[in-house]
Amino acid sequence: MAKTIGIVTSGGDAPGMNAAIRAVTRVSHAKGFQVIGFERGWDGLLTNSFRRLTPRSVGGIIQLGGTILHTLRCPGFEEKGAIEKGAETLSTHGVDSLVVIGGDGSFRGALELSRKSSALMIGIPATIDNDVYGTDETIGFDTAVNTAVGTIDKIRDTAISHERIFLVEVMGRKRGFLALEVGICVGAEVILIPEKPMSLADIVRLMEESAKKGKRAGIIVAAEGCGNTSKLALEMQQQTESEVRLSILGYAQRGGGPTARSRLLASLFAEKAVDLICQGKGSMAVGLQKGEITGYDLDKAAKDKKPIDLRLLQVADMLAT
């Protein structure tokens, strides 16, 4: 009987997940595997919700945001007996390998499952936060950056017309990767990230310095992990001569058709994932490391903290002169 590869998309969705599902399915079939997609993240293994995936059933999805398999922030396998149930479902379907498309939280679930299942676990990093250790870039990050940049460029038009300061909150959970890249790309006057906390006094000082340079409008990009941006916007307005408005970009950053780059990463990560399976290598994640797509320890992808290049904040400061 042909070996079977399972796919699950888990955690926050990311543009490019469908491209990854498509590529895992088609490369697997090209190598003689059967493919099963489990619905709604880990929940699909607990409720045995699945669909068989063929090269035809994944046609016309490479350009779609979201995930055709749906996803859940399932608490994973915390419930008593959940790991055993998940392992049993895999065994029932003869799943020899499971490709988990998601972020670090999803990879922790895969590690838990690997304690009770003999199936090879392979993680494909897909999250707009780009906060997975071991890969320079995650699927969906480029799309979210472009979505945010396009929206903030529009906000800058009205900021200039009204000579206002806009505090723009972007996603990223507890990390600043999205804010840092978006901030540089929109020419933000200030970028606020959790990894380099800034006091209100510091922010006000930077705003006043910007005004002294003759800048009467400005964009400040803040990662959501920096805290309460509504309160900050009010305090900024109270402590400066500027009119300050808040714009929270929210869930638009999670949707939209994936960019070419997100599709390319998804397709090449997927091919590498199936290649690792063909080599019999499990408990691995796939990542982009200095231009190379490679496999690395899933445990590190799940648990290690990805470093951020704070030097880019200094570059951003110079670019905002």
Q: Which residues bind ligand F6P (CB under 6 A)?
A: 12, 73, 103, 127-129, 171-173, 224, 254
DSSP 80-111: TTHHHHHHHHHHHTTEEEEEEEE-HHHHHHHH
Distance in angstroms between the alpha carbons of the first and the last residue of the chain: 65
Structure tokens at 116: 């009770």
C-alpha to C-alpha distance for 216 and 160, rounded to whole angstroms:
8
In DSSP terms, which residues pair with 36 in a beta bridge? 6, 52
- C-beta of 65 vs 103, nearer to ligand F6P: 103
Residue with tokens 């959940």: 82
Closest distance of CB 103 from ligand F6P, Å = 6
DSSP 190-216: EEEBTTB---HHHHHHHHHHHHHTT--
- C-beta of 179 vs 207, nearer to ligand F6P: 179
Closest distance of CB 45 from ligand F6P, Å = 20
Q: What is the CA radius of gyration of the chain?
A: 22
Of 13, 96, 129, 142, which is the active-site residue? 129
Structure tokens at 108: 């922790």
Closest distance of CB 118 from ligand F6P, Å = 30
How far, in Å, are 52, 56, 277, 285, 294 from residue 27 at the CA level?
15, 13, 11, 17, 17
Closest distance of CB 13 from ligand F6P, Å = 8
Closest distance of CB 66 from ligand F6P, Å = 12
- C-beta of 73 vs 85, nearer to ligand F6P: 73
- C-beta of 119 vs 179, nearer to ligand F6P: 179
- C-beta of 253 vs 283, nearer to ligand F6P: 253
| Residue 13 annotated among the catalytic residues of the structure | no
Burial of 76 (0-12, 13-18, 19+ CB in 10 A): buried
Residue type (1 letter), 142: D
Residues annotated as catalytic (active site), given as ranges = 129
